[in-house]
Every structure is written in structure tokens, then in C-alpha cells.
Structure 1
Amino acid sequence: MKKLILARGVLAASLFCCMSLGNTACVNRIDEESEAEIEEGTTPITFSIKMEKASTKVTNTAFEKGDRMGLFATTSSGSIKGKRYIDNLALEYTEGSTLVPKKTVFYPEGDVSLDFISYHPYQTEGVAAGTPVLPVSVQIDQSNEKNRAQSDFLVAKAQGITSKTKSVTLEFQHRLSKLAISLTPDASNSAND
């Protein structure tokens, strides 16, 4: 009988300890959803463009009127995989170095700095939420200038930008290369081999 009472006491004490410790679980991450919302300010963000000089003679180094780029912006402490301040905003090249956004966007209130990532050519689907990956493909037929231009993937970054900056300058850099391969048969081979 004493053993039964002792066993019940040990069981009750064990349950009490488990329940007490179970209610004090520790969490080592902060949910992005619980972050404070960033308030939109009144200072509009303007964009200008700069092209990296090409290192080859065959690469185009200028945009044409009507070319469109996609733009993402995150707080400098964030990432494109997480919460985005601007999500795949379409920018259109007009002339000179001016990019016109599809809609006017504003810097956040306060002293919040932003990191911008832009890409060309524009894709309506952009980067899916929760991932940092932008699917890129090239045109199969590279025989004309239009298809080659649609296959020329460019990326620009501008980091630590605040509302004190007059215009966000996006310096685009080529991320793909074009190879032209010419196969010439020798005397022992024919073009059909």
C-alpha cells in the first residue's frame, strides 16, 4: 500500500513538472509577420539607370524606349525571400537615364534604409513569395535582335538607400553570355557527320 501511495505521488509530481516546463517553451526566432509595419512616407522614389560597360564588342550596352524592368525593395535588414517593401514593380525606360515606375512609390517614414534589386527583362510573375529565386530562360531562336534582347538578363542592386537620396541609380550588369559557335568540317568529315 505504501508503494502504491509513493508511486501515485511520484506520478503526480512528474506530471506537474512536465506541465510546468511545457508551458515555458523557448522560441529562438521572430516571425516576420509580427514585425512592425513600415509606414509609407510622402517622398516619392525616383529611378535612374546606368549601364555597365560591356567587355566585348558584340554586346548591346543601351536600353531602348519602352524596355521594362522589374524592381524589388526590402529594408536593409531584410531579404528578398522575406517581407518586401516593393514587390516586382514594373519600371519603363523612357529616354536619357530615366525609368518611370508603373505606379508612384514612396520612401518609408523615418530613417529606414532600403535595398533595391532590379532585373531586365520584366516578368509579370517575378519572384515567388518565400523564395529568392527568379526563373530565367533564354529564347531558343537567337537568330534575330529581338530574341537576343529578350535573352539578355541584366541585374542591378542599390543598397542602403534612404529618403535623403535624390534618385536611386540602378547600374545594370549582364548576367548571361552569348557564344557563337561555328563548326567547320575538315577534309575527313562532311557537314552531315
Structure 2
Amino acid sequence: MKIESWLHILVFLLLCGCSGGGGEEEVTPPTEPETPKVQIALNCGIASRATETSFESGDKVGLFVVNYNGSSAGTLQNTGNHADNVKFTYSSAWTPEREIYWKDETTKADFYCYYPYATITDVAAYKFSVNADQSTEAKYKASDFLLGKTGGVSPSSDAVDITLKHVFSCMQIKVAAGKGYTEEELNEVVESVTVHGVSTGASINLSTGAVKAEGGEKVITPWKDGEYYKALIVPQSVAEVGLIVVLINKKEYTLKKAFTFETNKRYKFTVTVDKTNEGINVGIGNWEEDGVDHGGVAE
């Protein structure tokens, strides 16, 4: 019985020795910590706002982020971009509706930003309209559309700077007193100033910034801001029709003028009103930008 017990013990010890394998235990290498993602921050500025030079609290912009493919820039799509139309709200800083992060530490990206925020279904032909009635500051500002792009940005914890520019033209009309009038007298007799023969609809390509006027001709009522009547105009070429109509003592005096409005440009029209025996002559002075005399007579 003793010999049998010793045999059992010997077999047990041999089995334990074999299970050890005679080698070193396999060590599982430590898992490398995952690189923390870097959040995308935004800093939007304006080349020159319709009425201000900065955004106001509560303003909302939309942001698209398009990643590079290696060294080649990507193409802005309706959906499927790295970030699709993410809303940012301004209140001393820009706050996103949801956090977005860079793809990784090396992939560059293009940033497309626009104002005001809206639902976008076609980035190549977004529909927007200026108000025909821009007679108040609120209605005038609601007609403003801004667009900007910053391209080839490398991943960073710094905020991405984007400068937005006006997509439309700004028309500033000043009615000045000529012969026979004082400024006070003229202000009393001018009943209204309107802009005619322009389309108010626009198709905007958010990628290229190209704008196409759409829709029939409308009459725009500008906002009187101090000495100027201001209106935002969709870029377009206007035929030689009654562009500006000044209503004085219930009579319309029309300035016929062909003109081309370009994106992100502001044009100043000084309309001088003279009192004559036969009525009123209205001429137009030089444009602010080109310095060429585009004078005419309203009839």
C-alpha cells in the first residue's frame, strides 16, 4: 500500500511539472492608450455686416467640414461630409449644437460656413430670397446672406478662423437737395424711394460662392437709415429701366439706368433733386466705387 501511494504522488508531481512547460510565462503587452480626440472650435468674423461689423448674441451659422483625401481636397456634398450643417450659436463665443472632432491628428479639412442657419438640401443650389419690403432694420437684416470658407486647415486645438462675406450687393441711395431746395424742405416732400426691375430670389452655391438671380422682377422698398435708403440686392444685371423711383408730392420721378450688381459690393447712389419751373429734375452722381459719372435724368 505504501509503494502504491508513493507512485500516486510521483505521478502527480510529474503532471504538475509538465503543465509548467519549463519556460517563462507569456506576458500580455500593455494596451497603448487611445489618442484623445481634438474637438473642433469655430471663430467666425464678418468682412462687414449689413448694419454692424460683428455678430450679435443669438446669431446662428451652419458649418460643413470636408476632409482631405491625402493631399487632395475633398468635395462638399449634401450629406456624408465629415460634418454636415452643424449649427453654431453666438453668445460672446460660438457654441455648437453637438461636439465635433477632427478625424485624426494629421488629416486636413476645408471649412464652409454660412449665415443665417437653415436646413440645406442642395449645397450647389441653396434657395434664398431678399425681402421686397426692407423698410425696417429687421427686414433689411433678414435679407443678408453671408458665406465663407477656410481651406486646408491642419488639426489643432485652436479655433478655426473663418471670415464671412456678403453674397449680395448693398445699394445705398441718398436723396440730396439741389437748386431751390433746402435739406429740410426736401425731407418734407419726399414720400418714398423704391428700387425697381430687380429679382429678389437667389440660387447660391455654398462651395464656390456663385450666385444666380431667380424669379420675376420685384419692387424693393429700402430701409431709411439716417441719410441713406439701403437695400440688399441679389447680384444681377438690370436693363435700362426705371431703377430708382422717387415719389415727391404724389408724383413719380424715375431714373432709368442699366447696371450690374456684383457680389459683396456696396454702391452709393446720390440722387440730387432740383426744383424747376417745369417740375423736378433728378440726376444721379458718381458711383462711390468706380468714380465714373453715371448721371441721368428722371422723367
TM range (shorter): 0.5 to 0.7
Alignment of 1:32-47 (within 5 A): 42-47=37-42
| Residues 120-175 of structure 1 deviation map (CA, whole Å, 9 limit, x = unaligned) | 0111x2143xx522222112321111121121111111111122251101111111
Q: Size of the alignment, in residue pairs? A: 142
SS of structure 1 residue aligned to 2:128: coil
Single out whichever of 84-93 and 156-165 deviates more from structure 2: 156-165
Q: d(CA) in 2 for partners of 1:62 and 1:110?
A: 32
Instruction: State whether residues 57 and 90 of structure 2, in contact with CA within 8 Å, keep that contact through their aligned partners in structure 1.
Output: yes
Alignment of 1:4-19 (within 5 A): none
Q: Is 2:79 the partner of 1:85?
A: no
- Percent identity over the alignment is 26
Judging by fraction of residues, say which structure has more strand. Answer: 2
State the shift of 1:62 in Å: 1.8
Q: Is 2:208 the partner of 1:116?
A: no
Instruction: State whether residues 107 and 162 of structure 1, in contact with CA within 8 Å, keep that contact through their aligned partners in structure 2.
Output: no
- Residue 165 and residue 44 in structure 1: after superposition, are their counterparts in 2 closer, same or farther (change >3 A)? closer
- Cα-Cα RMSD: 2.5
SS of structure 1 residue aligned to 2:113: strand
* Runs (5+) with no aligned partner, structure 1: 1-40
- Say which structure, 1 or 2, has more relative contact order (CA 8 Å, 6+ apart): 1
Structure 1 runs (4+) greater than 6 angstroms displaced: none
TM-score by length of structure 1 reads 0.65
Judging by fraction of residues, say which structure has more helix. Answer: 1
Alignment of 1:126-137 (within 5 A): 126-128=120-122, 131-137=123-129
| Residues 35-57 of structure 1 deviation map (CA, whole Å, 9 limit, x = unaligned) | xxxxxx71101111222147xxx
Q: d(CA) in 1 for partners of 2:121 and 2:82?
A: 14
Which has the larger Rg? Answer: 2
Q: Is 2:150 the partner of 1:150?
A: no
Instruction: State whether residues 114 and 161 of structure 1, in contact with CA within 8 Å, keep that contact through their aligned partners in structure 2.
Output: yes
- Aligned residue identity for 2:134: Q
| Residues 36-90 of structure 1 deviation map (CA, whole Å, 9 limit, x = unaligned) | xxxxx71101111222147xxx743221100001111111321113741111111
Partner of residue 279, structure 2: 187
- Aligned residue identity for 2:112: I
Q: d(CA) in 1 for partners of 2:143 and 2:280?
A: 37
Partner of residue 47, structure 2: 52
Q: d(CA) in 2 for partners of 1:68 and 1:114?
A: 22
Instruction: State whether residues 41 and 157 of structure 2, in contact with CA within 8 Å, keep that contact through their aligned partners in structure 1.
Output: no
TM-score by length of structure 2 reads 0.43
